[in-house]
Chain A
Amino acid sequence: MDTVVLSMENITKVYSNGFVANKNVNFSVNEGEIHALVGENGAGKSTLMKVLFGVEKPDEGHILLHGKEIHIDNPIVAIKSGIGMVHQHFMLVPSLTVAENMVLGMEPKKKGLFSMEQAVKITEEAATKFHFQVDATARIEDLSVGKKQKIEILKALVRGARILILDEPTAVLTPQETKELFVELKNLRDEGLTVIFISHKLNEVTELCDRITVMRAGRTIGVQEVRNVSESDISRKMIGRDVQLNIQKSRAKPGDIVLNVKNVTKYSRTSAKKALDGISLRVRRGEILGIAGVEGNGQTELSESITGMDKEFEGSIQIGGMDVKNHSIRQAREHGLAHISEDRITYGIVGDGSIEENIISDRYYKPDFQKGPLLDLRKIDKLADELIGRFDIKCDGRDQPIKMLSGGNMQKVVVAREFTSGSSLIVANQPTRGIDVGASEFIRNKLVELRDQGAGVLLISADLNEVMELSDSLIVMSDGKIAAYFEDAAAVSTDELGEYMLGIRTMTPDKIRRVADND
């Protein structure tokens, strides 16, 4: 059972921005095991897997498959060598059927033409063999996220994968879907396949995996049998110190209403569907209202509407009594809005800009930072240095291009800006997505701190633990509507949430209405 099927030796990878993602990394997996690869973001997990899948070329080191050295120059070689990868963002063609996606690039032909029959047959055979339940003729776009992921896994298996890499597979799943996935993965392991499971979620690792490799700052810290370690051991290894997994939080003391969303409806840009369907809610100063839900159920549209990024909606949104629709983003920000965008790279930062340029983007124009006709660089430098220190941003200095930082440090720059603008409403959309445990914990504590100082927080997160831990009250969004409202977030179970997220249950309109007039 304990035969090493694949090992990576002394892998070093330096990115063109000078960032050393992997430093002499050794990593090996056995046949028939589920091997967890954990670490903070920026620890080098993704890079290591990209090297393994032929997406990135290592600068040093080699890869042995069944004891023989192989050169994986591109993903085609990887696939031929029996390595399959399921990316976090699915690589499926939404308008095609499951069977068509399944055979993409290896289409069965009959008389020179594509044979749908064959494709369906291949899909169904594979599904039976690996105990997956799929409808080969369904269109991808009609499937749930969980189903799409199954298709991705099956796609890799059809291509002969014996080693399956799953990059944070549960990030987009509901608790029920996660359970299903785990059963299937265990089945695959019993068939003798190897699964490499990348995750942030330690409880999943201990539940599912056999062995665990921890990475930190580009190096492997150690390999262990999962049954011999505790979650706190792992997390200490990951960040090199003890973390408190629980946020210290006192009871909320709600104050004035700072965000008032009334009956907001928005049509989707791509289809005739309503992306938002009559949403009403209120956020008060001194409370955190969490929004849970599977991604793509209107959270993005809601946060864009509230923050003034998209003004094409019906209904009204007021921030501190100011109507968002006929005011600019700057006016909204001056009226107390702070915004952490879910898409850090596109909106949150300017990659080519320095850390300093990123920090001052919401306040550079204020009289405080002017000296005659020019910017008061001394003051700006001072502010940047101070915030780099206060938010513990690891960098070479304030004039370092922000694109050279790790995801977690980038996000710290974003929050260093958004959390210091003296705001009364913070819209935090996926504030800790894709960043390490240490930075996440930091940001979560800051959110609570700001709440205690009297800011209202609207927290949108796909991370159930996060919303449940942070929120004072909680709503669940499903299909553009509010499916449930819980006045006390602490009194909800994950299973209950999951059912509302999946649309299996919906609260009565009366109960939901309370979120809009919780006086």
Chain B
Amino acid sequence: MTKSVSKSIKTPKEVEREFDILRVLLGMTIALCIAFLIILLISKDPLGALKSFVIGPLSTLRRMGNVVEAMTPLLFTGVAVCFIFSANQTNMAVEGGFLLGALGATIGATVFHLPPVIHPLVCLLLGGLFGAFACYVPALLYVKFNSKPVVSSLMMNYICMYIALGIINHVIRDPGAGFPASYTFDETAQLARVLKGTHVHAGIFVGLVVVLVGYLYLYRSRKGYEIRMVGKNVNFAAYSGMPVNKVLMNSQLIGGFLAGMGGAVEVLGMYTRFQYQGLTGHGFDGILVGIIAGYNPAIVPLAALFLGYIRVGADVMSRMNDIPIELVSIIQSIIIVLVVAERFLYKQKHRKLVEVAHKELAREEVAANE
């Protein structure tokens, strides 16, 4: 459709799409407004705090680096969630998968000794496999015993956490570290820094590749089509002859693999040893990123950037001003609520649709009279 035509009359389809985007943007805006309101209320220097929050992340190269560092793991967990949630499975074991992935990479980076390039690749693969295991268990329980992944995956997260901590504390703990942590990674396994003065590492490129491949797989390949159809109407998929259970397992194994890879990239890029003391929250952040992106990997970088940005903004604000970092969590929650609320802006949308319908009718009448 050419621009001039779409300007005169929008199809309902376009109105629908318009409002989908509007809803996300407005959700974000409202959330930020509420954040500003809170800042105004609790800060002695609201303007300074606001400034830190809004442009703080851009003020120095290091902080810009922080934004990229924060978004890197979210690319992985975000795409992971796109895969799992597109199949309409609420498998939240991406959280545990991320930690297990970090564990897998740690084992790879401390136990094996391999040449450069190959070493991190092996670690990423190990991390991916560990992560896939985390999501595999709830997926299998659902397919075999119809146990809802909402519950089993949350439990799985704890299992993952204690497996990881147990192995770190009792098997590969470095007694010389002074705190519970693994031995240091081989230097050959660590991901290279790519920007001087920041901690930005090669993981961001791996992440962007994952986004691209993830998009092509989910939206351009036959396997991705299966995943989306199973997610949208499982009865239809079965009726059409799709191997539903295989597709469900497949989507969650891929999701788990990506989450695990994210964990691997994070530890190998940011740290020199495994030193997490519990779940990291990257998986749940991934769910937020996935939801904002509408489960489309192509939009994941934007959503991850947004989240990374307000994270760093809040961090800058909490260090420079008198605002606690917890504020970010409040903003996050508000965004989720507004984005997932389908009826949000419903009346406006409906009014617009009626208007479009009227224009269409008028046009039809003109056409009929001609």
B319 on the A face (CB < 8 A): no
A115 on the B face (CB < 8 A): no
Neighbouring A residues of B172 by C-beta, 8 Å: none
Minimum-distance CB pairs A-B, first 7: A18-B12, A330-B241, A361-B240, A350-B233, A347-B239, A20-B357, A329-B241
CB distance from A410 to the nearest CB of B (A): 12
Neighbouring A residues of B243 by C-beta, 8 Å: 328, 330
Give residues in B with beta carbon < 8 Å to A: 11-13, 15-16, 216, 220-222, 225-226, 228-229, 232-233, 235-243, 346, 349-350, 353-354, 356-357, 360-361
Known: A350-B236, A353-B229. Contact between A20 and B360, CB under 8 A? yes
| Cβ contact within 8 Å between A341 and B239 | yes
| Cβ contact within 8 Å between B12 and A347 | no
Interface hit among A29-37, A180-188, A372-380: A372-380
Q: Supply 5 further A-B pairs (C-beta < 8 A) apart from A329-B241, A404-B13.
A: A361-B240, A362-B240, A362-B241, A373-B221, A400-B13
Q: Which of A16, A18, A351, A352 contacts B356 (CB 8 A)?
A: A18
Distance of A364 Cα from B237 Cα, bound (Å): 12
| Cβ contact within 8 Å between A16 and B13 | no
| Cβ contact within 8 Å between B232 and A350 | yes
Q: Which of A16, A333, A400 contacts B350 (CB 8 A)?
A: A16
Which residue on B lies nearest to A404, using beta carbons? Answer: B12
Which residue on B lies nearest to A59, using beta carbons? Answer: B354
Distance of A399 Cα from B12 Cα, bound (Å): 13
Distance of A375 Cα from B354 Cα, bound (Å): 37
| Cβ contact within 8 Å between A364 and B225 | yes
| Cβ contact within 8 Å between B360 and A349 | no
Max chain B C-beta neighbours (<10 A), residue from A16, A370, A399:
A16
| Cβ contact within 8 Å between B232 and A352 | yes
Distance of A369 Cα from B220 Cα, bound (Å): 11
Which residue on B lies nearest to A339, using beta carbons? Answer: B239
Known: A328-B241, A330-B243. Contact between A18 and B357, CB under 8 A? yes
| Cβ contact within 8 Å between A352 and B233 | yes
Distance of A369 Cα from B241 Cα, bound (Å): 17
| Cβ contact within 8 Å between B229 and A350 | yes
Distance of A117 Cα from B276 Cα, bound (Å): 72
Distance of A377 Cα from B222 Cα, bound (Å): 11
| Cβ contact within 8 Å between B222 and A365 | yes
Known: A20-B360, A377-B220. Contact between A348 and B236, CB under 8 A? yes
Which residue on A lies nearest to B236, using beta carbons? Answer: A350
CB distance from A34 to the nearest CB of B (A): 32
Neighbouring B residues of A334 by C-beta, 8 Å: 241
Q: Which of B221, B222, B232, B353 contacts A18 (CB 8 A)?
A: B353
Distance of A328 Cα from B246 Cα, bound (Å): 13
| Cβ contact within 8 Å between A361 and B229 | yes
Known: A18-B15, A330-B242, A350-B236. Contact between A375 and B220, CB under 8 A? yes
CB distance from A500 to the nearest CB of B (A): 31
A262 on the B face (CB < 8 A): no
A19 on the B face (CB < 8 A): yes
| Cβ contact within 8 Å between A309 and B12 | no
Q: Which of B222, B241, B346, B361 contacts A333 (CB 8 A)?
A: B241
CB distance from B315 to the nearest CB of A (A): 39
Q: Which of A16, A370, A401 contacts B222 (CB 8 A)?
A: A370
CB distance from A14 to the nearest CB of B (A): 5
CB distance from B165 to the nearest CB of A (A): 39
| Cβ contact within 8 Å between B222 and A14 | no
Distance of A330 Cα from B361 Cα, bound (Å): 44
| Cβ contact within 8 Å between A357 and B12 | no
Known: A347-B235, A365-B222. Contact between A14 and B353, CB under 8 A? yes
| Cβ contact within 8 Å between B216 and A374 | yes
Residues facing B in A1-25 (CB within 8 A) are 12, 14, 16-20, 23
Neighbouring B residues of A333 by C-beta, 8 Å: 240-241
Which residue on B lies nearest to A351, using beta carbons? Answer: B233
Neighbouring A residues of B13 by C-beta, 8 Å: 18, 396, 399-401, 404
CB distance from B6 to the nearest CB of A (A): 12
Which residue on B lies nearest to A417, using beta carbons? Answer: B240
Neighbouring A residues of B220 by C-beta, 8 Å: 374-375, 377
| Cβ contact within 8 Å between A364 and B236 | no
Q: Which of B221, B235, B236, B356 contacts A374 (CB 8 A)?
A: B221
| Cβ contact within 8 Å between A353 and B12 | no
CB distance from B18 to the nearest CB of A (A): 12
Neighbouring B residues of A307 by C-beta, 8 Å: 239
| Cβ contact within 8 Å between A396 and B241 | no
CB distance from A108 to the nearest CB of B (A): 39
A493 on the B face (CB < 8 A): no
Which residue on A lies nearest to B356, using beta carbons? Answer: A18
CB distance from A148 to the nearest CB of B (A): 27
A326 on the B face (CB < 8 A): no
Distance of A334 Cα from B349 Cα, bound (Å): 44
| Cβ contact within 8 Å between A375 and B222 | yes
A346 on the B face (CB < 8 A): yes
Which residue on B lies nearest to A307, using beta carbons? Answer: B239
